[in-house]
Amino acid sequence: MIFFASASANQNDLVEKEVINAGGTDISTSSSGVEFSADLETAYRFCLNSRSATRVVVLVHRSEAMASTDDLYEYAQKLPWESWVNPDKTFAVTETVTDCRWIRNSHFAALRLKDAIVERIRQKFDGERPNVDRDNPDVVFHLHVNRNLVSFYIDFGGRDFTRRGYRKDQTEAVMGEFMAASILYRSDWYKNPDTFLDPFCGSGTICIEAALMATNTAPGLINPDRFAFLKLPIHDEEIWQKVLTEAEEAVKPCPCRVFGWDISTKAVEIAKANAARAGVLELIEFSVKDFTKVTEEDVKLLNSYYKGTEKEKTEEADNTAIVGNEHYGSIVTDPPYGVRLDSSKSALRNLYSQTGRIFYDMFGGWKISVLSSDAELLSYIEMKPERTNKIINGGLDCQLAHYYVFNEYERKALKEKADAKRAERLSQPLSPGAQMAYNRLVKNLATVGKEMAKQGVTCYRLYDADMPEYSAAIDFYEGKWITLQEYAAPSSIPEEDAARRLDELVLATERATGIDLENIYVKRRERQRGDNQYVRRSAPSASHFYMVQENGHHFSVNFKDYLDTGLFLDHRPVRKMIEKMADNKRFLNLFCYTGSATVHAAAGNALSTVSVDTSATYLDWAQKNMFVNGFSGLNHFYYKSDSIEYLKTSYDRFDLIFCDPPTFSNNKSRGTFDVQRDHVYLIRQCMKHLSKEGTLIFSTNFTRFRMDEELEEIYRIEDITEETIGDDFKRSGKIHKCYKITHKAVAPVERVRTRTVRKVSLKG
């Protein structure tokens, strides 16, 4: 017989492994599931033991000889449905149709199949027919059409296949049993079960599935009477009892402890009741606990169940460090992410941020897997995931991130190894070129660095092509990180010379600043066209984001995934100016990027802020920057829109506008934008939204920019470039152009009172 086991999105490989373990053959895996050949014993074994499949059907017939629903009816009427159903039984029909030209309505196709089955049974039983029961049928037929291939199946596992039978009560946010098992598979915890914790356990599904998995308890044993095949005529009770006995004998003692925590007393009570019905309550310790308030004693208790050798336990009695590749335990959890639960975004961000800190500070030596439908929330867990999986949970696109938290021993060993490599590297003499670069950097640190420290600036430009041989920009962040942006060398310079000079500059930078090589991020900056300067260089990781300070505010920066870090350092004085001007103003930030100017406006007590950008990524980043600085009120708005389109369609008025457009960009809806060519139109549009006493700050990094004289005749324009360039950028000459633009005062027009004279036509 041929069977098909359905799988949820991206979980087909898990179902395939279960098919292999059950003894299936002729396996063919597709995106929706696994087709395989099996006898009854193998099929029973699969149904009883599968944890991740969502449905199991057995093939009745398959054909490509149809081209209409009438053909479907006539063809189906000839099939021996009487082998499966008779007038004493009820049935139902389900369907899936993909990419079939001759089926416009899948429900109509299922209706035609139902009619064909009824007519066939009438013919075979002297006019008697079976009844259709959509709620609790004896037999469920399934019609599957993919293009012209029509397959007729019978539901073998049953509609309740994914329901183990233990979940009578549940919390508002629900995870299916098969999904919980899939997550456990992805975590790899099942390979060597150790101390297990779900700190946001809800109704306990993940914990219960973990206990079942650890004891090798077949999920079908919880309610073995729920399978549809028990009502099918092909059912063999003797074989079924054999498979049941086999599964019961395979159950083993639990090799680990399972813990479930939740802040809700009601959720914990529901979890206990569900675990009792599943027969694993004695294996799980559920507790009412707020994970954000977990203590060292809580973690020490968990660590006390570590399965290391007696020697290791004696040597590490304080439970603070372990050796080798062993680890204390595993966390697999599905924290709230606000889609179904009434949680504010700011509260969830705070929860994930606190959770990440607790993981890192208290759970050294633990493997951790976290599921969330919001990638931004995962970014608040500031650790680098080893790997991730895409999962669809309840119709939501989710990411399952897997982490390993180094224990103190491992952290110490890694640091010692890195220190040894660094010491060896620094002991090597610098080449003459690197020495020259080193000398310049040391000089800059003594001058520019000293001045920046005096001004309280922690993120600044240390070097900007000061020497033509080493054409690069070096930015210093918080004394911890450096971005070294190499300007593309002229074609006249051989590639090997350019590569050598870059290596020399990197080594000189490490030597002069004391910043370790792994925290020096090297990028090549070439002339950018359009929005390329903002293009993501690699998939962003939460571990690549760091917090820096500017003007007393905090900003998230990323040194690896994008060409720019998220904070344009040359605009530091501009942002400070905005903060001073923003009091009680309605502020608009066009081409807002990561919203650093918006943060300054909000800090300056702006009445409201509006941030506009075409990138959802940067708008999310902007909201994160606002959140970490305490600005998450209802008076801050974010619009994913082309800034020019926003100006054309919006009727809002503002008292302070910051407009820093790209030099060149290409937009599908409006075509190309060139700041020199199009700035007149852009500024005019901005001024339409500017209040009478308002100010537009217009900035551009096109250093050859010239303000059109036409605008100077219409508006009051002040070139403020010099005062908006910090001391760390002045030696490099041109970096940007900046203007303050206001409406010219209009002399009041004397109103002349006039009288309307009514003309009368006289006749006669």
DSSP 200-221: T-TTSHHHHHHHHHHTT--GGG
Question: What band does 171 get if pLDDT is binned at 50, 70 and 90?
Answer: low
- Lowest-pLDDT range of 152-156, 490-494, 586-590: 490-494
| pLDDT value at residue 243 | 97
How many Å apart are CA 57 and CA 6, to the nearest integer?
Answer: 8
Question: What band does 170 get if pLDDT is binned at 50, 70 and 90?
Answer: low
Q: What is the mean pLDDT of residues 279-294?
A: 95
| pLDDT value at residue 149 | 93
Sign of CA dihedral 462, 466, 469, 473: positive
| pLDDT value at residue 763 | 37
| pLDDT value at residue 249 | 96
What residues does each domain of the chain span? Answer: 2-155, 177-216+252-411, 429-526, 542-743
For 116, 146, 150, 367, 763, the CA distances from 101, given in Å and listed in that order, are 21, 10, 13, 49, 81
Q: Which of 694, 500, 536 is nearest to 616 (CA)?
A: 536
Q: What is the mean pLDDT of residues 306-325?
A: 46
Residue 313: pLDDT over 60: no
Residue 753: pLDDT over 50: no
Paired tokens of 589: 């930030």
Residue 543: pLDDT over 90: no
Please tell me the CATH code under which domain 177-216+252-411 is placed: 3.40.50.150
Domain 429-526 annotated CATH 3.40.50.150: no
Q: What is the mean pLDDT of residues 535-543?
A: 43
| pLDDT value at residue 377 | 82
| Alpha helices (H) in 370-461, listed in sequence order | 375-378, 408-426, 432-444, 450-455
How many Å apart are CA 456 and CA 728, to the nearest integer?
Answer: 13
Share of the chain above pLDDT 90, in %: 71
Within this chain, domains 2-155 and 542-743 share the same CATH topology: no
Residue 248: pLDDT over 50: yes
Domain 542-743 -> CATH class: alpha beta
| pLDDT value at residue 495 | 86
| pLDDT value at residue 633 | 82
Q: What is the mean pLDDT of residues 253-266?
A: 94
Q: What is the mean pLDDT of residues 560-589?
A: 95
Architecture of domain 2-155: 2-Layer Sandwich (3.30)
| pLDDT value at residue 531 | 43
pTM assigned to the model: 0.70
Q: What is the mean pLDDT of residues 229-257?
A: 95
Residues β-bridged to residue 525: 487
How many Å apart are CA 588 and CA 688, to the nearest integer?
Answer: 13
| pLDDT value at residue 338 | 56
Paired tokens of 25: 């053959």
Question: What band does 173 get if pLDDT is binned at 50, 70 and 90?
Answer: low
What pLDDT digit, counting tens, does each position of 703-722 carry? Answer: 899 999 999 999 999 999 99
Higher-confidence position of 198 and 336: 198
| pLDDT value at residue 342 | 44
For 187, 257, 358, 373, 699, the CA distances from 210, given in Å and listed in that order, are 11, 10, 23, 22, 57
First to last CA, the chain: 111
Question: What band does 524 get if pLDDT is binned at 50, 70 and 90?
Answer: confident
- Lowest-pLDDT range of 309-318, 435-444, 546-555: 309-318
What pLDDT digit, counting tens, does each position of 606-660 carry? Answer: 999 999 999 999 999 999 899 889 998 889 999 999 999 999 999 999 999 999 9
What pLDDT digit, counting tens, does each position of 345-401 carry? Answer: 678 878 888 999 999 999 999 999 999 987 778 877 878 889 999 988 878 888 999
| pLDDT value at residue 671 | 77
Average pLDDT of the chain to the nearest whole number: 88
